[in-house]
Amino acid sequence: MVGVKSRREDLRPIVTKSIKKKITEDEVEDERVGEGNEQPLSPASRLFHEPHFNCYILAIMGCTKRVDPDIVKAGLETTLLRHPTFSSIQVVSDGKTGEMSWIRVKVDLEKHVIVPEIEQGMDSHEQFVEHYISNLSRTTIDTSRPLWDLHILNVKTSEAESVSIFRIHHSLGDGTSLMSLLLACTRRTDDPEALPTVPTQKKRVVQTRTGGFSRPFLALWELFLLIWNTMVDVLMFIATLMFLKDTETPLKGPPGVEFTPKRFVHRTVSLDDIKFIKNSLNMTINDVALGITQAGLSRYLNRRYCEEKLDKGATEKKNNLPKKIRLRAALLVNIRPSPGIQVASALCYKVMSRTTMSFTNLVGPVEEICFYGHPLAFLAPSVYGHPHALTINYQSYMNKMTFVLAIDPDVIPDPQQLCSDLEESLKLIKNTIISKAMRT
């Protein structure tokens, strides 16, 4: 594979005494790139250069036709490469202080757009795609060029005619901003000049029968709940940092799980079913996604614990879960200043390694979109390089919801079964609501 190295190696940025000299095999773009014009990396970007957080974001895109690499390269030239972080490398401008900066370079797309030769007559295209993406998690991108690449696999799967994988180092931005940038490279299929339409969150209106006299008290009560919940979250964070750990379950990875290769699987369900549950229970999409996840993980863990107790007459229909089990998902936020990056990395690693998994839910376009003229059948983002054996990402697109699992196969050997448990949990919740509605 072009421009990659082992995941076990730390992502070491280039060190240079003078940024006016040639700093990579690519040429500095022009005179605009000179001393005094470099942009320093943010604390969050520097955090993702630490060994335990060498994270990469994957955007897996299924297209309804074969991808033409030349058309894609032409599109990247006029869109993505205009963004500074996608046409810059990251260098250490001062080896003593470790200060890092962005330096603009001339991008050679031949080194970033990778089209592997596909063996004809393979047994399973789905398995080939899955193995290819998994192999990406074994490697890192060469730091002598901008930290992103695009892999085009012109193989037909059950969902798409071809699959493309954007791999982007997390130091280039957070998942939400990078997904927004990726969507900016697409256009609506029904209007090639229009950008995708992404729904915005509407403020929930709570219907009450109280008069105007009681409204100030309700506002004070909501403020009290906000303060109380914030205090609880802060105390839980401190407790996790100090001593509180999740229960050791078949979902929790061992130390060093951030360095192990991951396996990526996904499953697509009806977004209308999720909206039906949301409206029936007066919830949000995120609430429903969390509920599905909790129910699916419970079903999966119950089966795993059942397998351990088969000699004691256990069955899947019974509750085999431990009486007390703590299973939490983590969200990484870096709020420390630049001089404390190593300390921030150690603190974040300690907190994340004491939780079980990561969870995200991203909103996607409501209509079909094209990636440089190639209509998308599905969009499945994920991430690897952080200390969790399980990451679940939900991504909406048109009238579909895709959940993507990034797992350590040594910890979760049957990820397709976990996908089925999540899908079955959605069906059970929906059917329960329908049954109760029919009885009333």
At 70 the three-state DSSP class reads helix
The stretches of 109-150 forming alpha helices (DSSP H) are: 125-136
Is 79:150 a contact under the CB 8 Å cutoff?
no
d(CA 415, CA 411): 10
Q: Kindly give, in sequence order, each residue whose CB lies less than 8 Å from that of residue 109, ignoring residues fewer than 6 positions away.
A: 73, 76, 77, 81
Whether 131 sits among the annotated catalytic residues: the reply is no
Strands 14-15, 88-94: pairing is: parallel
Q: Is 395 left (phi over 0), alpha (psi -120 to 50) or beta?
A: beta
CA angle 396/164/44 to nearest 5° reads: 70
d(CA 287, CA 13): 40
d(CA 41, CA 55): 16
Residue 266's DSSP bridge partners are: 404
d(CA 129, CA 116): 11
Helix axis angle for 415-439 and 271-281, nearest 10°, is 50
Instruction: Return phi, psi of residue 110, to 5°.
Output: -65, -25
- In terms of C-beta density within 10 A (0-12 exposed, 13-18 middle, 19 or more buried), how is residue 134 classed? middle
d(CA 165, CA 186): 15
Q: Kindly give, in sequence order, each residue whose CB lies less than 8 Å from that of residue 434, ignoring residues fewer than 6 positions away.
A: none
Is 170:385 a contact under the CB 8 Å cutoff?
yes
At 208 the three-state DSSP class reads coil
- The DSSP secondary structure of 320-371, one letter per residue, reads -S-SS----EE-----S-GGGHHHHHHHHHHHHHTS-EEEEEE---SS-EEE
d(CA 407, CA 111): 28
Which of the following is catalytic: 52, 112, 151, 170? 170
Enumerate the active-site residues: 170
